[in-house]
Amino acid sequence: MLVRMAMENPSWLAMIAISPFAKLVSTMNLRKVEKLVCVAVIRTMVSGDRSTMGAHMDKSQDAGIHARHISSVSTLDSEMTEDNGNPIWKNRVESWKEKKNKKKKTSIKVEIEAQVPPEQLMEDKPAADAFQSLSTVIPIPKSKLAPYRTVIIMRLIILGFFFHYRVTNPVDSAFALWLTSVICEIWFAFSWVLDQFPKWYPINRDTYIDRLSARYEREGEPSELAAVDFFVSTVDPLKEPPLITANTVLSILALDYPVDKVSCYVSDDGAAMLSFESFVETADFARKWVPFCKKFSIEPRAPEFYFSQKIDYLKDKVQPSFVKERRAMKRDYEEFKIRINALVAKAQKTPEEGRTMQDGTPWPGNNTRDHPGMIQVFLGYSGARDIDGNELPRLVYVSREKRPGYQHHKKADAENALVRVSAVLTNAPFILNLDCDHYVNNSKAVREAMCFLMDPEVGRYVCYVQFPQRFDGIDRSDRYANRNTVFFDVNMKGLDGIQGPVYVGTGCVFNRQALYGYGPPSMPSLSKSSSSSCSWCGCCSCCCPGKKAPKDPSELYRDAKREELDAAIFNLREIDNYDDYERSMLISQRSFEKTFGLSSVFIESTIMENGGVAESANPSTLIKEAIHVISCGYEEKTEWGKEIGWIYGSVTEDILTGFKMHCRGWRSIYCMPLRPAFKGSAPINLSDRLHQVLRWALGSVEIFLSRHCPLWYGFGGGRLKWLQRMAYINTIVYPFTSLPLIAYCTLPAICLLTGKFIIPTLSNLASVLFLGLFLSIIVTAVLELRWSGVRIEDLWRNEQFWVIGGVSAHLFAVFQGFLKMLAGIDTNFTVTAKAADDAEFGELYIVKWTTLLIPPTTLLIINMVGVVAGFSDALNKGYEAWGPLFGKVFFSFWVILHLYPFLKGLMGRQNRTPTIVVLWSVLLASVFSLVWVRINPFITPLIAQPWPRPALPLIAKF
C-alpha cells in the first residue's frame, strides 16, 4: 500500500524524503520482507546519486598480486528512472518482462487450444508425445510391498515382547554381562527402526527421452533444452591420475547433448602445473574424439574404458569406415596416453626453484598454499573447433586463489568457487558435479535428468536429481562391499518415495536456484477432501487416508523464522500485487551483496531463473569478474557455505548440503536408467576402503555435533517429512553403533573364557520369541531382496562390512569427532588412490599399515582363543557341558564369519600381514584374555576363588 502511494504520488514521495518517515518504517509492525520493500523503495526512488561498489570497499587495498581484483562492471543502484539507471538492473527488468510476455503467450495459446476441436488440435501438434509427462512413477506392486510392510510391523511387535523377556529375566550370576548385552540390543533395535521405516514407500521411476526431444528439439528450430554446467574437481594429480581425470572430461565433452548447452569446469585445487598441461593435451585430443563418438554413437565415451571393453566392436556397426577409423582413433589415444604419462614422469621431480612455463615465467601455483586465482578457457564457442569444423563444448580450467590465513574448506569451497565462475561465464540453470574418477557411462544421462527437471509439473519443486554410483575395477565377489549395492538399490529407492534421496557427492544434477538458498515455489493449498501428500512420509494419502490436508506450505515458509538467512533470500513469487518492473524496483542490491558477495554481475545471475549471459557482455570483462569471484576473501561476511552453495562444517559436505535443501521444502529425485549414467573407480584394497569409510563416518559425527544436526535443526519451517528426518538421523548416528557393536562382538569371547552367558535358561516362551525374532529378520531380508532386485550375495557382503567398518573406522570416527570438538584436534585425510595396478585387481591384495586394522584383528584373535578355550573346557567337563557350549560358540562364529573378509584381506595374496598389526593384536588379545580369566568381575567376592581355580558350573543353557 505504502509503495503504491509513493509511486503514484510524487509530491507525497517528496514529503517522505524530507520527513523522518524512512526511519520509522523499520519500527512498523510489518513482515520482514515488507520492511525491506518499503526501505528499498524510499532509498532507491529518492536517491539521485550514482555510487560504485568500489566506494564501499577499502580504498587502501594494494594493487599488487595480493590485492582483490575489482571488476569495473560492479556497480550499485543508480537513479531508477525511465531514462537513466543501472544497466544491470535494467537488463533484469527486461528479462522479467520477456518472461511475463512468454507466460501470457503460453496462457493465450492454451486457451485457444482449448477452444479448437480435438481433431484439428491433433493435426496442428508436431507430436503427441510432446504434450505428455516426461516421467512416471512406478510403485512397487502391492503383492511385494504389502507382505514386506506386514513383516516389518510383526518384527516390531516381536521386538517388544523380546525386550520384555530380556529385561524381566536378568542373569544374576553375570549381571554386568547381561546388562551390557541388553543395552547393545536396544541400540541395535533403535538403529534398525531408523534404517527400516524410511524404506516404507519405495518406488521406481521411468523416463521418456523421446517425449523430451519432441517437446524441446523440434525439427528446423533451435534446441530449447536447458544448458548444463559440469563441475569436475581434482586436488592431487599424483594420487588422482591425470589420465583418469582426462577420461572424465572427454566423456563430458562427447555427450549426446547440444554443444552450445554444455560447459565443463575443472577445479584444480592443488594448482598443479601437471594438471594444467594435461588439460592442454586433453583439449587437443577432444577435437578428434568428440566427432568420432557422435558419428558412431560410441558408448561409453571415455576412451580408456571404451577401448578396454571385451566385446565384439563390429557388432551392429554398418558403416564400412568404422573399423578403419576406430583403429586410427585407438592409435591416437595410445599416443595421447604416452604424452600424459610423460608429463606425469616429468612431474615426479620438482626443481628447487619451482616449475616454469614455456615462456620462462614461474608457474603461479608453485606454492599450493599461496597463489593467485587462475582461469583458462581451452575450448568454447569462439575457441578451437573439432577436426570437422564443428563447435565444441566449453572447457574451463579453474584454480581458486589461496592465501595464508584464509580458511579454504577443501572440496566444498572449491565447488562454491565453480558455482560463481560458471554463473559469470555461462550461468546454466542446472549444474552437474562429478568426481574426477567418475566418467559419463551413458551419453544420454543428462537427458534422463532433464525429463524431471524440465517437466513443468515435476521440475518446479526438484532441487536435484541424484544418480546411483556404479564402479569399475571391483572383483566379482566384491569382498569389501565397494559397490554399496544395498544402499543405492534399496535405501535410495525408499527415500525417493518420501522426499527424495540424499545427495551422495557425485553424479548429481542441481537446480542452480536451490544452491542459491531460494525455497521452492509456493504450492497451492489443498482441500480437505483432496488426496495430498502427508507430512509424515510425503507419499500419497494411502498411508494416512483420513488425515486432514496440511496447512499451505507457502504460509509456513513465510511465517517460519529464518534467522540464518539474510533478508535478501526470499522467493520473488511471494511478493504479490506487483508487476515485474515494480518487483525489480523493490530489491535492495546491498542486501544481496551481504548475502552473495561484492559482484553485481554474479548478483544479477542469481535472479535469472532460466540462466544465460547477456549477449553484449565483453568476454574479457567477464574473465576479470570470474577472477574476482574466486578470490580467497570473496566469501568473507557472506552467506556462502552457511546457507548458499555447498555447506561447510563437515568433511561430508554432500549430506549437509542436501539436508539444507530438503529443510527448505525442496524434494529430490532418484534416477536409475537401465544403462548406468556414471561409473567410477573405487578404492578396492582394505586399507583405502577403511580410510574412505572413516572419512564418511567422521563427517557424520561432525554433523551430529553441529547446529545442523537433524535431531533439532529444521523444525521451524515444517517442510522436512518425518520419515525423511529419520533417514537423515540415521546418516549421522550410525557411527555411534560402533560402541555397542564392538562390545557385542567381545561378549562371546568373554562368555567362553569365564564360563558365563548373557541368557538364562530358556523357557518355551523364550524359545518361541528367539525363533520368531530370527525368522522375522530372515523374512524381512528375503522380501526386501524381492522388491529391490538386489542379490543375496550383495546383502551378505553389506552385512559383513557393516561389522568390519563398525568395529574399526566408525569407532575411530567417533573418538576423532569428539577430539575435534573438545580439543580442536583436526584430522587430515589423504586422498584415496584412484587407479589400480596393471594386473587385474592388483591392489585388492595390498595391505597397508594403518591403526584401523588393530581393533578387528584383536576381535578375531580373542574370539578364536575363546572358541579354543570353550572346547577345551567342554572336553574336561564331559557331555553335559556341550549343550551350553553350543550357544556361546554360535555367537563367536557369528563374529568370525562377519569378519572373514577382513581376515582374508589382512592375509593378502602372499599371506603377508604387517608385523606391527599382528604384534599389537596378539598383545592386546592376550592381555585381555588373561585379565578376564584372572579377575572375572561377574562373580561375587564371596565365591571368588584364587587363581588357578576350577571352572564354575554353567548356569546358562541355550
Q: What angle do CA 860, 864, 869 make, to 5 degrees?
A: 150
Length of the chain: 958
CA dihedral 445, 447, 448, 454 (to 10 degrees): 140
**By 3-state DSSP, what share of the chain in percent is helix, strand and coil, each rounded to 5?**
50, 10, 40
User: Is 210 labelled a binding residue?
Assistant: no
411 is in an annotated binding site: yes
CB 240 within 8 A of CB 436: yes
Contact 951, 877 (CB under 8 A): yes
With beta carbons less than 8 A apart as the criterion, state whether 806 and 737 touch: yes
Annotated catalytic residue, options 77, 229, 268, 269? 269
**Burial class (CB within 10 angstroms; exposed 0-12, middle 13-18, buried 19+) of 669:** buried
Measure the CA–CA gap between 901 and 807, rounded to whole angstroms: 14
3-state DSSP call for residue 464? strand
Whether the CB-CB separation of 325 and 292 falls below 8 Å is answered with: yes
What DSSP designation does 140 have? Answer: P
Alpha helices in 706-737 (DSSP H): 722-733
**Is 609 a known ligand-binding residue?**
no
Q: Looking at 77, 413, 654, 688, which residue is catalytic? A: 654
- Sign, Cα dihedral of 812, 813, 817, 818: negative
Give the whole-angstrom CA distance, residue 422 versus residue 166. Answer: 60
Distance, in Å, from the CA atom of 845 to the CA atom of 685, rounded to the nearest integer, reads: 6
C-alpha closest to that of 899 among 869, 943, 859, 871: 859
428: nearest Cα among 180, 205, 229, 648: 229
Task: Please state, as a whole number, how many other Cβ atoms lie within 10 Å of the Cβ of residue 903.
Answer: 15
Amino acid in position 749: A
What amino acid is encoded at 239 in this protein? Answer: K
Count CB-CB contacts under 10 A for residue 817. 23
The answer to whether the annotation marks 100 as part of a ligand binding site is no
DSSP symbol at 489:
I
Q: Is 269 a catalytic residue?
A: yes
CA distance 752 to 749: 5
Q: What does the H/E/C string look like for 40-89?
A: HHHHHHHCCCCCEHHHHCCCCCCCCCCCCCCCCCCECCCCCCCCCCCHHH
594 annotated binding-site participant: no
- Residue 872 among known ligand-binding residues: no
The packing angle between helices 653-663 and 410-425, to 10°, is 60
Residue whose C-alpha is closest to residue 511's, from 601, 438, 436, 449: 449
Annotated binding residue 269: yes
The residues carrying an active-site annotation are 269, 654
Binding-site residues for Mn(2+) sit at 411, 435
Binding-site residues for UDP-alpha-D-glucose sit at 233, 239-240, 269, 410
Binding-site residues sit at 233, 239-240, 269, 410-411, 435
